[in-house]
Structure 1
Amino acid sequence: MKKLNICIDIDGTITDPYYWLNYANNYFNLKVSEEDINSYEISKVLGIEEKEYLKFYEELKFDIHRKQELREDVKNVLNKLFKNNNIYFVTARDKSLELLTNLYLKQNKIPFDDVFVLGTHNKVPTARNLNCDIFIEDSYDNAIELSASGFKVLLIDTNYNRDPINNNIIRVYNWMEILENINKMSKEKEVI
């Protein structure tokens, strides 16, 4: 029997959090750097109207998400975790990206039990349905919402999520730290 139900966001969590930056800089003829990305709201970072950002994203979303680079150690860590835990990807991506998302994970040999492409940032109901033990996330707002609903969250550090965290959130800096924290939680769960 598998020990933990691990829910994991995709964009910025298993992938490079700044994957979209070159596309945006080229499209809008800008020179925004990774250091400039201090907000999850991309239009705000780029200094453009939301509708301009949405037009850009609609035009390029398939290309952007198809070519995302994985974070360091993601595959190695997920392969280890998958042996003893359930892995569920829970993403706010638009429903139109469902097939591409599944193909991306399979082509990159990422192990998982299921994928939930929600089309919304409200991940709490899905986490409840999956009896989530730990949620790995990069969005500060999602982490706060999940933690306020009683879920333990590992918030992977980025330039855009450095606001204060609460007791249900642990800030981590890489996937090896994620593995350490989950192994520790797994051992604690065995004791209970």
Structure 2
Amino acid sequence: MKIALDVDGVLADVIISWINYNNSIRPKIDKYQITNWEFWKEFKIDPFDFYSELSSCWKNWISIPATEENLSSLTKSLSNIGQVDIVTAREHSTNSFVKSWLDHHDVSYDNYVSVIDGPMKADLNYDVFIDDSPLNAEKFLENNKKVFLYSQPWNQHIHNNQIQRVSNLTEVIEKIKFH
């Protein structure tokens, strides 16, 4: 089994770092106010600025919190089930920072795959996708892929019985093992 594991929003809670930056230059935003994928529109933030700022957060990768404790043991357990590849959509200049973050948290994975645009992930040859993007989840379904949507405030509006919502990686491991 080939498993595609996302980074931002699934392993790394980079939005927390971005919020800290945002709140120093704009009106304050709380993570739970981010209720849709393109939330910057609601807050009148230019998308170029948002993505540029998000990429800049990775320069200080050591300050980016993990979404869960024990990522090392959780990703080792996932690796016991199948091939786990980090599959992430990002600006290529951030790849070295992301890899440093993954090493720092002792995340187990076989390959690191970076694409420019999230929906491009769906064209890759994986059996299972673990992601937090509602846009990616829909694209994975269009390509008949198994989707685990990692719950975040920006994907709560997604209600599709073909998408398996998970709150943590332990749930993913249990669902893959027993299904």
Does residue 5 of structure 2 align to residue 8 of structure 1?
A: yes
Q: Hey, what does 2:65 align to over in structure 1? A: 69
Q: Match for 2:112 among 86, 111, 115?
A: 115
Question: Which of the two has higher C-alpha Rg?
Answer: 1
Q: Match for 2:29 among 28, 32, 35?
A: 32
2:154 counterpart SS class: coil
CA shift for structure 1 position 66:
4.5
CA shift for structure 1 position 113:
0.3
Aligned residues: 176
For residues 92 and 66 of structure 1, do their structure 2 counterparts lie closer, same or farther at Cα, with a shift above 3 Å needed? Answer: farther
Q: Per-residue CA shift, 1:99-133, capped at 9, x if unaligned?
A: 2222221121101000111121121122x2xxx12
1:123 counterpart SS class: helix
Q: Hey, what does 2:122 align to over in structure 1? A: 124
Q: Per-residue CA shift, 1:154-175, capped at 9, x if unaligned?
A: 0011111022333431011122
Q: Is the 8 A contact 1:39 1:45 kept in 2?
A: no
Q: Is the 8 A contact 1:147 1:168 kept in 2?
A: yes
Q: Is the 8 A contact 1:17 1:158 kept in 2?
A: no
What one-letter code is carried by the residue in structure 1 that aligns with 2:178? K
Identity between Structure 1 and Structure 2 (%): 25
Q: Is the 8 A contact 2:58 2:98 kept in 1?
A: no
Runs of 4+ in structure 1 off by over 6 angstroms are none
Q: Match for 1:150 among 144, 152, 158?
A: 144
Q: Is the 8 A contact 1:89 1:112 kept in 2?
A: yes
Runs of at least 5 residues in structure 1 that lack an aligned partner in the other structure: 186-192
- TM-score, scaled relative to structure 2: 0.87
Measure, in 2, the Cα distance between the counterparts of 1:55 and 1:96: 11
Please give the residue correspondences for 1:86-97 in structure 2 after superposition, counting only pairs within 5 Å: 86-97=83-94
Report the more deviating stretch, 88-97 or 41-50. 41-50
For residues 170 and 77 of structure 1, do their structure 2 counterparts lie closer, same or farther at Cα, with a shift above 3 Å needed? Answer: same
For residues 64 and 167 of structure 1, do their structure 2 counterparts lie closer, same or farther at Cα, with a shift above 3 Å needed? Answer: farther
